Amino acid sequence: MSDAELEGRVVWVTGASRGLGRHVALALADAGAKLLLTARSSDQLEQLAQEIRTHGGVVEVVAGSVADADVIERSAALIGERFGHLDILINNAGISPAFVTSERLAKSAWQDVLDVNLSAPLACCQHALPLLENAGGGSIVNITSIHGSRAHERLIAYAASKGGLEMVTRTLALEWATRAIHVNAIAPGYLETDMTAGLREHERWRETLLTRIPMHRFGTTSEVVPAVLFLAGPGASYITGTTLYIDGGWTAA
């Protein structure tokens, strides 16, 4: 996909302050997109926005968790006021704070994960819909996980939330296809990001994970960003309801 295909497009990226979200935002800015970025880490978000503006990019930010309905409402309102429409929504925000066996998982931890990883992306899609319709259609890319379809011990909340988001993706793809809105998901495996650092740095779990990856290495954000941009852009206009796995060939049951 050429940069010209994203030039001037209005894109909303959640969880943009670090990891995959940050690299997606930078790639979109380099391609000439106009951005609305949200994230909980306000300092990192402002630093990213300043970096983009320094290079001539157009960016607005809303700091706060997407689990907060007000953050989603303010983000959608700002897009409408600043740009008048939306071309692309990338639901990237996600958390995985609990790595415990299922019987030890606290109800509050379960709810926190589902609020951010499942309920918030749906709410973002609902608020994005009229803005996408103002553009005559557009694209939604939901970042799920390899564990949305393949189980892993001690990750029941995370896996349930990501599996739910895959079904949200398929359902919206069916419901919104006639509105020229295509909805797809990308399911990365283990990337070299802050979220996976604890497992990657733990000797036993690191080896357990690597034995399940035929490529025997963790992925990088640079290996996922091009796929996000492809599904977000016009080159994927006849693709909807699809989940693209970028996982090194993960083989776990």
Give me the tens of pLDDT residue by residue for the chain, a chain 253 residues long: 445 689 999 999 999 999 999 999 999 999 999 999 999 999 999 999 999 999 999 999 999 999 999 999 999 999 999 999 999 999 999 999 989 999 999 999 999 999 999 999 999 999 999 999 999 999 999 999 999 999 889 999 999 999 999 999 999 999 999 999 999 999 999 999 888 888 888 888 889 899 999 999 999 999 999 999 999 999 999 999 999 999 999 986 5
Residue 64, C-beta contacts closer than 8 angstroms, at least 6 positions apart: 38, 40, 42, 70, 71, 74
Alpha carbon dihedral 153, 188, 36, 56, in 10-degree steps, equals 140
Residues 165, 144: contact at Cβ < 8 Å? Answer: yes
> What does the buried/exposed string (b/e) look like for 86-114 if buried means 16 or more CB atoms within 10 Å of the residue's CB?
bbbbbbbbbbbebbeeeeebeeeebebbb
The pTM score is: 0.95
Distance from C-alpha of 63 to C-alpha of 74, rounded to nearest angstrom: 10
Residue 55, C-beta contacts closer than 8 angstroms, at least 6 positions apart: 29, 30
Distance from C-alpha of 233 to C-alpha of 215, rounded to nearest angstrom: 29
Say if domain 3-188+224-245 classifies as CATH 3.40.50.720: yes
Alpha carbon dihedral 45, 50, 51, 54, in 10-degree steps, equals 160
Distance from C-alpha of 94 to C-alpha of 209, rounded to nearest angstrom: 20
SS3 (DSSP) at 55:
coil
Distance from C-alpha of 231 to C-alpha of 186, rounded to nearest angstrom: 9
Token couple for 123: 């709410």
Residues 88, 139: contact at Cβ < 8 Å? Answer: yes
190 in active site: no
Token couple for 104: 């030890």
Q: Catalytic: which of 158, 190, 238, 245?
A: 158
Instruction: Encode pLDDT of 17-40 as tens digits.
Output: 999 999 999 999 999 999 999 999
Q: Which long-range contacts (CB under 8 A, 24 or more apart) does 68-73 make?
A: 69/123, 71/38, 72/120, 72/123, 72/124, 72/127, 73/127
Instruction: Encode pLDDT of 38-58 as tens digits.
Output: 999 999 999 999 999 999 999
Q: State residue 176 phi and psi, 5-degree precision.
A: -105, 5
